[in-house]
Amino acid sequence: MAGQSCLISNDWICGEYVRTRSQELTDATVQHVWITLASVAIGLVVALPLALLARRWRVVAGPVLGLTTVLYTVPSLAMFSLLLPFFGVSAAVVITGLVLYSLTILVRNILAGLASVPEEAREAARGMGYGPVRLLFGVELPLALPALMAGLRITTVSTVSLTTVGAIIGYGGLGNLIYEGMQSYFKAQVLTASVLCVALAIVADLLLLGVQRLLTPWARSGGAKARKKARKDGKRARTKARTA
């Protein structure tokens, strides 16, 4: 009775709602996850060649960065509305819109990562007989991973959030539940779906952070060395101050 009463009284926190609508919540979460994964993956596939073109030909860099920035400023409702005539009412509308939004962050971070690669590393690789393709995938991209992963984390978290807007055409994952709950003022549904959406963003960010740490062990060792050096410098400074 206590569990049922929270539905009747329309409480924000209601365990009975979670229990009775578990399948609905699961389906919405699964849709949210696959739309996010598809959008980020396609965005990365599109952003990499765009970033390489922008780096290779400086005359292309301005238009590429400008276009991706303009796309990012288009309101999501307007973006999905503009894509409807091309894809109809389908998940492709949401995924395409999210891919376009992801480009400005991914392209800029890939360029920043490639720019941070030491020229000495490139020269050493060329001296070992590395061609352009092997140099890119064997040296430059691995060393650019910290910046690339940072952009990927930002993109993923923002995509998890923006996916909810797809509810306007019925493909918003947890956003569908939020939208329906707001229309009917169903408090438990709005809060539960919102919490799950936030949890997805946190979990995705932590997973990508773990992947980043696994793929860039030198960054951790470099950070540890820097902290150790800072401690030594601080100790020397304090010793010098005491003896002065």
**Which of the residue ranges 61-65, 67-71, 119-123, 232-236 would you say has the lowest mean pLDDT?**
232-236
The domain that contains 163 carries what CATH number? Answer: 1.10.3720.10
- Mean pLDDT, residues 108-120 taken together: 89
In a domain, residue 52? The reply is: yes
In a domain, residue 5? The reply is: no
Nearest Cα to Cα of residue 49 among 132, 107, 105, 133: 107
Please give the structure tokens belonging to residue 206: 């932590």
Question: For the chain, what is the radius of gyration of the CA atoms?
Answer: 24
- The pLDDT tens digits for 4-45 are 578 787 788 888 888 888 899 999 999 999 999 999 999 999
Per-residue confidence (pLDDT) for residue 228, from 0 to 100: 52
In a domain, residue 242? The reply is: no
In a domain, residue 143? The reply is: yes
Number of independent structural domains in the chain: 1
In a domain, residue 178? The reply is: yes
The whole-angstrom separation of Cα 84 and Cα 81 is 5
Predicted confidence band of residue 232 (pLDDT cuts 50, 70, 90): low
**Which of the residue ranges 202-206, 214-218, 221-225 would you say has the lowest mean pLDDT?**
221-225
Q: Which domain holds residue 104?
A: 12-217
Predicted confidence band of residue 214 (pLDDT cuts 50, 70, 90): confident
- The pLDDT tens digits for 84-103 are 999 888 999 999 999 999 99
**Across the chain, what does the average pLDDT equal?**
84
Per-residue confidence (pLDDT) for residue 221, from 0 to 100: 55
Give the burial string for 94-120 (b: 16+ CB within 10 Å, else e). Answer: bbbbbbbbbbbbbbbbbbbbbeebeee
In a domain, residue 240? The reply is: no
In a domain, residue 167? The reply is: yes
The whole-angstrom separation of Cα 94 and Cα 17 is 28
| Cβ atoms of residues 153 and 213 within 8 Å | no
pLDDT at 177 over 80: yes
pLDDT at 239 over 60: no
In a domain, residue 227? The reply is: no
